[in-house]
Structure 1
Amino acid sequence: MTRTTVPFAALGAPLACALLTLPVQAADAAQDRSEALLAPVIVSATQADSGAGPDPWRATATIDSVDGSLLREGQMQINLSEGLARVPGIVVQNRQNYAQDLQISVRGFGARSTFGVRGLRLYVDGIPASAPDGQGQAANFPLGSAERIDVVRGPAAVLYGNGAGGALLLYTEEGQQPGLWRSGMAVGPDGLWRLSTQLRGTLGGDAASGSGAPWRYAIHIERFATSGTRPQSAADRSTAHMKLSRQDGDNQWLLQYQEQRSDAQDPLGLTRAEFDADPGQTTASALRFDTRKSVRQRQLGAAWQHRFAAGRRLELMAYAGTRSVLQYQSIPAATQAPPSHSGGVIDLDRDYAGMNLRWRSTHEDVAGGQLDWSAGLAYDGQAETRRGYENFIGSQLGVLGRLRRDERNRASSADPYVQAEWRTQRLALSAGLRQARVRYRSEDHFIVPGNGDDSGRMAWRGWLPSLGLRVNLGPGLVAHASVGRGMETPTLNEAAYRPGGGSGLNTGLAASAHNTAEIGLRGRHGNAGWNLTLFETHTQRELTVLSNTAGRATYQNAGRTLRRGLEFGGNAQWGALSASAALTLLQARYRDGFLTCDSAPCATPAAPVPAGARLAGTSPRRLWSELAWQLSPKWTWTVDMLHSGPVAVNDRNTEHAGGYTVWGTSLRWSRQWQQWGAQAFVRVDNLTDRRYAGSVIVNEGSQRYFEPGARRGLSAGLTLSRSF
């Protein structure tokens, strides 16, 4: 068993002293919420948690809350990258490749991911959208029905457990009375279109007649498709999300069902020569092997809360789901010749489930303030059948061939936790402790000459503490500071291949451990709000890509790293004119040198990575700004800008994707009459038609690092709504 026992060292006393002299905040400070944040472990999906939401102004943590209207108005409502650029500290890159999902990182955590989301925790209505091993998919977020998204980062995020360098919490809209029907469509370049419908209302119950409380329902159905920005990048995705909630006396209930089906081609990345010659092309191997991915996922969740006297509550959340993936890769037939190779087709069937039981208690007038505390146990487990096949039959490529891998994998985590917050109007203190216990087990059912039994086990355990402080310095100024320690285990995908590409658990991988501290100020003055936060994170046994070829990656531990940076967010309004901005400065570097692979195949790493090299996939700076002008009660015009600095595409820092600045503009129209409402938009992205790499595939062994950003494109949409 590997244990995360890194000492909680001081995180730079000189830095902390310097920070105390600087002005700082947490986004959306202009919104004054009615309910202060209890600890950030939002494990219940009851209305108490999903209603008013956190109050960034009063929190001891760094939290931004983005209203659902900002995710919908003037947007295609397909990708998180459309609405989260306004949050400092988080980077959401659209790969223009729906076979690999978005590339999301928070303060550098998650930047190593070659597909999906890692190093971060995702939740929808308080129910995990991340698998127990830490792998998540942002495509599961139903943006068209979002009430808000909370972005938690810094020391408070560690209380979400293993692999929580940050947390994204989406809450969907509640059913309402009168009911609401809303349908919309949007079209964009490259054959992109989206159709969606939301329906919200109530069923049964009549409080006036004493027949009980009604059930509130919210239904979201969506489909989108695109021909893709490059050859071999078409995609089609259908999503259904349904929620029932009820508050009846002292009991609250929530039922949630979600289903998603997607089919996407995979254009792969481009080499430097290919990207410079024509960023709109697709590498020949993607076309030869017809690289593609199909996903089917279903999930059912439920939450219950009972309120006792004297501010006590018992909460229970449970969920279960299935996920099936069939992926065709571009691995050459000759590479698959060794008996230990697991083939070029991945066939994965996963069942997963979990629960969280929590006791919460509120005590008034404790040392002159209010004390909220909670304690609970979270359990998550998954079992998957992973098969591998050759991606050829004779000379025919991109088809299902012979079986080359057959194994049964299991992952589980069982985390007890406790946390508390004491607060007055001027002061708040928070503390939390969670013990993360993660276990993997693999049973090999494909044993042939030259490929022995690759069964194995892995286990990790670590204590995750967090402390926070908030002090009101004046009517419009708040200071906050926090420290915490987290851990991150490799996901089952990251542990699925051994160095050299052979199948079987890579039992040599250890969990990384990070100590982090932050300090900042929040201010609001009239119609303006701002925030500034400084942070520093020290990591041991950083997980990094060892080799990555044709979508198959192996990983290793690379020693110590340092992340430090600054986040600024602000917004202001002057009459009909409003402005918003988000700035992130990040220094993310390796403190220890190590060896890695710079080509494929690679059984033994031999390429040196020097101390001081930048973590691949991270940018030293990122700036977003928007200027909105309300031309009339019906018309709004916006101009926005996104700037990103250069990004190292490999840990050796021998190649970089250049920095870029892209501009966009939109014209929005809305009208309300009686029971009807209508909204429309026209938007132009990448106004100057800048050619740039929108994201990168870190440490790609064939040096196909670059994923081109979208060219200039015109999109438009219309939404109609009616109350009933």
Structure 2
Amino acid sequence: MHVARLCPATGWPLRLSTLASLMLLAQGAAAQSGAAAAPQALPDVTVRSTLVQSPLDYAPASVTIVDGDRLRDRQWQVNLSESLSGTPGLLLQNRQNYAQDLQLSIRGHGARSMFGVRGVQIFVDGIPATMPDGQGQTNNIDLQSVERIEVLRGPYSTLYGNASGGVINAYSARGEGSPSIDSSFAMGSNGQKRLGLKAQGERQGVGYVVSASRFLTDGYRPQSAADKNLFNARLDTDPSEHSHLMLVANHVNVDALDPGGAAPAEWAANGRAVAPGPLNFNMRKNMRQSQVGLAYDYRVDASNALRLMVYAGQRSITQYQSTPVAVQAPATSAGGVIDLGRDYGGLDLRWAHSTEAGGSPLSLVLGLTANLVEEDRQGYDNFLGSQLGVKGKLRRDERNTLSNADPYLQASWAFAPHWKLDAGLRWSHVKFVSRDHYIAPGNSDDSGDTRFRRWLPMLSLQRELNAGTQVYASLGGGMETPTFNEISYRPGGLPGLNFGLQPATSTSAEIGLRQRFAGEALRGQWSAALFHTSTRNEIVTAENIGGRSSFRNAGRTRRQGAELATQLWLARQWQLNAALTVLDAKLRDGFCNSAGASCVPAGKRIAGTARTQAAIGLDWRPHGDWRLGADWRHVSAIAANDSNSIEAPSYGVLALSAGYTRQWGPWKLNAFARIDNLADKKYVGSVIVNESNGRYYEAAPGRQWMAGMSLGYQF
């Protein structure tokens, strides 16, 4: 199968409509076959991301849950993009650059990010991987020990506070049962290797899961080799019959070269192209992070429960950029080397109460979240004399403090048979403080502080149409502040921090339908959602000069679209997963750069977004020991800049995989292999949005292979 060779007359619209039609026909047939069957034939899944926990069937929001076994099966277990890229509403692209994080956005939120994650909240075992300013990262998520990942979309996510255009929650598995140990090894194209070791079980009332892994790659492009080491541990115990204690610890260390992006013409001529700058300056990054968290749950009585989660961590980054020497000449330059040390911590205190109102069940959650980040940030020249890519003289030295303190309230009331009302309110308060310790001729004191405050409400109404079928409507208000990186530079090369940059505020609405069915020949579930978000003061790029980006507020934007997802079990041997996303993300008001010389008119697509995404995964288990799978993914053209003058071409890629499992007494062998991009299609895997040098494209590999095995022992 090679999508690029389909007849042009059919086109992507026909393929899109065909996919949607097949999904709807399958759902219609399934609903008929399961009309007389009990939906409980499928396993019940509890959603944790909505705070007032409920079965997935009754969650008043768009939620996708992917369990750990599915995340790991026939995968590298390194990147979220391996198994979450088929999630509706989620654009998740692997940059093939471990010096930078994945390109990640949810319904267009976070799409503006050049590097790292913006506009989406990420949590690992309740610990935020997103800082109070909305800047996040995913590389500390240990897929080897994760129990599940939940992706929350729509108005409900605004209850997570600043920059919550969507939420990704990762939960580590809890150790239970007899002790076991599992070792794994995988290797593949471009020198990729992964080694893993995991021990889990329960002993004397203490459950434990401890895992460690190392991933090595030579990289698809020159200057893209990487070495990633990850450790994760979780301990659980019950101090009393009414309490539970969880301790989690995590450490990640990444050393990676950085190839940067390629201009469209460079990529067209050579998919592995790397510009001279990253090579000449040996562009690279080292990141180390260690954190620990403690969660204590106490059941006061049948109606009341308390939960306290506290955490602390340290993060250090040294990053060598390819900023030209001449650009670093002005006294206001921050140099071409970033040296960052960060201490962070926080807490979440929560009280849950169950009661009745008007004779109907009412659940309440009242809580307070507080987070603090203190960072020392230095900048240095990236040269000494004629030698490039080395640390030179000091050009920046500042102490930055980020903090937030957000009280919140959430209620869920089943006020009538088949009806449920959910409501929530959060007071989000984010504070920025910067103290400049680098004062030099031509570089004055850039100290300053600012704060942003906003009420974030949410309301959702749900109706049960019949057993297994729910419909809901939600409305919410959100806020996204600029990150510290985005206020670091003022437009026009002016000195000081850009504290005039304001947060973007939004109003989101959604209607959705979720159905579960179970028949003798066909069972499964499907969901559909329509969404609309209006945003004011959208944060956009003001100018890109010499590798530095400054930002400004534009006018209004709109993100609207539809999502459709299904999971079907066909007989006992076949499983089908499919997802479809249609997104219309546009500027409602035009804007100009800081000099007024270049303007973007209204109606342009928001940079970094794709109009359509589709994914289909088919698994066949002909025998209890064997697993065979095929996965197809399509992403339409992605706007690389605000003017939409450059787009990364659309693509469709196919992957095949196989797995074999065999048990011999206490021993368990799992062998697996996969081929990605089977047709060896040349395509752009991700884009660097509004890249200042016009090097927008990050190439994806051609045909890739991997194979591996794991061996486990149950004591």
TM exceeding 0.5? yes
In the TM superposition, what whole-angstrom CA distance separates every residue of 1:524-548 from its partner, at most 9, and x where no partner exists? 2221311110000000001123334
Equivalent of residue 529 in structure 2, options 530, 533, 542: 533
Counterpart for residue 4 of structure 1: none
SS in 2 for 1:190: helix
Q: In structure 1, how many angstroms separate the alpha carbons of the residues matched to 2:417 and 2:103? A: 39
Counterpart for residue 486 of structure 2: 494
Q: In structure 2, how many angstroms separate the alpha carbons of the residues matched to 1:360 and 1:551? A: 49
Q: In structure 2, how many angstroms separate the alpha carbons of the residues matched to 1:648 and 1:628? A: 33
SS in 2 for 1:144: coil
Counterpart for residue 619 of structure 2: 628
Mapped pair 1:141 → 2:132: no
Counterpart for residue 421 of structure 1: 412
Q: In structure 2, how many angstroms separate the alpha carbons of the residues matched to 1:666 and 1:85? A: 16
Counterpart for residue 196 of structure 2: 196
Structure 1 position 181, deviation (Å)? 1.2
Structure 1 position 36, deviation (Å)? 5.4
Q: In structure 1, how many angstroms separate the alpha carbons of the residues matched to 2:657 and 2:40? A: 24
Structure 1 position 683, deviation (Å)? 0.4
Q: In structure 2, how many angstroms separate the alpha carbons of the residues matched to 1:162 and 1:122? A: 12
Q: In structure 2, how many angstroms separate the alpha carbons of the residues matched to 1:115 and 1:531? A: 32
Q: In structure 1, how many angstroms separate the alpha carbons of the residues matched to 2:296 and 2:128? A: 16
Q: In structure 2, how many angstroms separate the alpha carbons of the residues matched to 1:552 and 1:63? A: 37
Change (3 A) 1:384 1:203: same
Contact 1:132–1:380 (Cα < 8 Å) also in 2: yes
Change (3 A) 1:628 1:189: same
Structure 1 position 648, deviation (Å)? 0.9
Contact 2:123–2:170 (Cα < 8 Å) also in 1: yes
Counterpart for residue 208 of structure 1: none
In the TM superposition, what whole-angstrom CA distance separates every residue of 1:582-623 from its partner, at most 9, and x where no partner exists? 100000000000013xxxxxx635211000000000000000
Structure 1 position 505, deviation (Å)? 2.1
Q: Which amino acid in the other structure matches residue 320 of structure 1?
A: A
Change (3 A) 1:54 1:664: farther
Mapped pair 1:40 → 2:12: no
Counterpart for residue 105 of structure 1: 105
In the TM superposition, what whole-angstrom CA distance separates every residue of 1:289-331 from its partner, at most 9, and x where no partner exists? 1000000111111111111113201111111111100000011
5 Å matches for 1:310-325?
310-325=302-317
The RMSD of aligned alpha carbons is 1.9
In the TM superposition, what whole-angstrom CA distance separates every residue of 1:165-218 from its partner, at most 9, and x where no partner exists? 0110001111112122111111111001111111112243xxxxxxxxx12111
Mapped pair 1:218 → 2:214: no
Contact 2:57–2:516 (Cα < 8 Å) also in 1: no
Contact 2:85–2:93 (Cα < 8 Å) also in 1: no
Structure 1 position 425, deviation (Å)? 6.7
Change (3 A) 1:23 1:284: same
Counterpart for residue 579 of structure 1: 576
Counterpart for residue 268 of structure 2: 276
Counterpart for residue 459 of structure 1: 451
Q: Which amino acid in the other structure matches residue 636 of structure 1?
A: R
Counterpart for residue 14 of structure 1: none
Mapped pair 1:301 → 2:293: yes
Q: Structure 1: 5+ residue runs without aligned partners?
A: 1-21, 43-52, 205-213, 597-602
Contact 2:175–2:208 (Cα < 8 Å) also in 1: yes
Structure 1 position 54, deviation (Å)? 5.3
Q: In structure 2, how many angstroms separate the alpha carbons of the residues matched to 1:579 and 1:470? A: 28
Q: In structure 2, how many angstroms separate the alpha carbons of the residues matched to 1:23 and 1:109? A: 31
Q: In structure 2, how many angstroms separate the alpha carbons of the residues matched to 1:550 and 1:584? A: 36
Equivalent of residue 407 in structure 1, options 398, 404, 424: 398
Mapped pair 1:720 → 2:711: yes
SS in 1 for 2:55: coil
Which range moves more in the overlay, 195-204 or 260-269? 195-204
Equivalent of residue 512 in structure 1, options 482, 504, 516: 504
Change (3 A) 1:449 1:512: same
Counterpart for residue 379 of structure 2: 388
Q: Which amino acid in the other structure matches residue 347 of structure 1?
A: D
Q: In structure 1, how many angstroms separate the alpha carbons of the residues matched to 2:487 and 2:188? A: 39
Counterpart for residue 11 of structure 1: none
Mapped pair 1:258 → 2:268: no
Mapped pair 1:560 → 2:551: no
Counterpart for residue 686 of structure 1: 677
Q: In structure 2, how many angstroms separate the alpha carbons of the residues matched to 1:660 and 1:303? A: 44
- What is the aligned-residue identity percentage? 45
Size of the aligned set, in residue pairs, is: 674
5 Å matches for 1:113-262?
113-204=113-204, 214-247=205-238, 248-262=240-254
Structure 1 position 679, deviation (Å)? 1.2
Structure 1 position 515, deviation (Å)? 0.3
Structure 1 position 520, deviation (Å)? 1.4
Contact 1:543–1:556 (Cα < 8 Å) also in 2: yes
Q: Which amino acid in the other structure matches residue 580 of structure 2?
A: L
Counterpart for residue 539 of structure 2: 543
Contact 1:24–1:521 (Cα < 8 Å) also in 2: no
Structure 1 position 32, deviation (Å)? 5.5
Mapped pair 1:375 → 2:366: yes
Structure 1 position 78, deviation (Å)? 0.6
Contact 1:24–1:530 (Cα < 8 Å) also in 2: no
In the TM superposition, what whole-angstrom CA distance separates every residue of 1:635-676 from its partner, at most 9, and x where no partner exists? 121111110101110001111111011111011111223222
Q: Which amino acid in the other structure matches residue 244 of structure 1?
A: L
Q: Which amino acid in the other structure matches residue 687 of structure 2?
A: V
Structure 1 position 257, deviation (Å)? 1.0
Q: In structure 1, how many angstroms separate the alpha carbons of the residues matched to 2:417 and 2:229? A: 47
SS in 2 for 1:228: coil
Q: In structure 2, how many angstroms separate the alpha carbons of the residues matched to 1:173 and 1:105? A: 26
Contact 1:33–1:54 (Cα < 8 Å) also in 2: no
Counterpart for residue 71 of structure 1: 71
Q: In structure 2, how many angstroms separate the alpha carbons of the residues matched to 1:417 and 1:518? A: 22
Q: Structure 2: 5+ residue runs without aligned partners?
A: 1-23, 28-38
Q: Taking structure 1 as the reference length, what is the TM-score of the superposition?
A: 0.90
Q: In structure 2, how many angstroms separate the alpha carbons of the residues matched to 1:503 and 1:228? A: 38
Structure 1 position 239, deviation (Å)? 0.7
SS in 2 for 1:302: strand
Counterpart for residue 589 of structure 2: 592
SS in 1 for 2:432: strand
Q: Taking structure 2 as the reference length, what is the TM-score of the superposition?
A: 0.92
Q: In structure 2, how many angstroms separate the alpha carbons of the residues matched to 1:137 and 1:197? A: 24
Structure 1 position 55, deviation (Å)? 2.6
Contact 2:97–2:259 (Cα < 8 Å) also in 1: yes
Contact 1:636–1:667 (Cα < 8 Å) also in 2: yes
SS in 1 for 2:464: strand
Contact 1:191–1:226 (Cα < 8 Å) also in 2: yes
Change (3 A) 1:266 1:657: same
Contact 1:33–1:55 (Cα < 8 Å) also in 2: no
Q: In structure 2, how many angstroms separate the alpha carbons of the residues matched to 1:91 and 1:382? A: 28
Q: Which amino acid in the other structure matches residue 267 of structure 1?
A: P
Contact 1:37–1:58 (Cα < 8 Å) also in 2: no
Equivalent of residue 642 in structure 1, options 605, 609, 633: 633
Q: Which amino acid in the other structure matches residue 221 of structure 1?
A: A
Contact 1:422–1:428 (Cα < 8 Å) also in 2: yes
Contact 2:49–2:152 (Cα < 8 Å) also in 1: no
Contact 1:39–1:421 (Cα < 8 Å) also in 2: no
Contact 2:461–2:474 (Cα < 8 Å) also in 1: yes
Structure 1 position 632, deviation (Å)? 1.4
Contact 1:38–1:372 (Cα < 8 Å) also in 2: no
SS in 2 for 1:255: strand
Q: In structure 2, how many angstroms separate the alpha carbons of the residues matched to 1:55 and 1:321? A: 33
Change (3 A) 1:449 1:519: same
Q: In structure 2, how many angstroms separate the alpha carbons of the residues matched to 1:24 and 1:58? A: 22
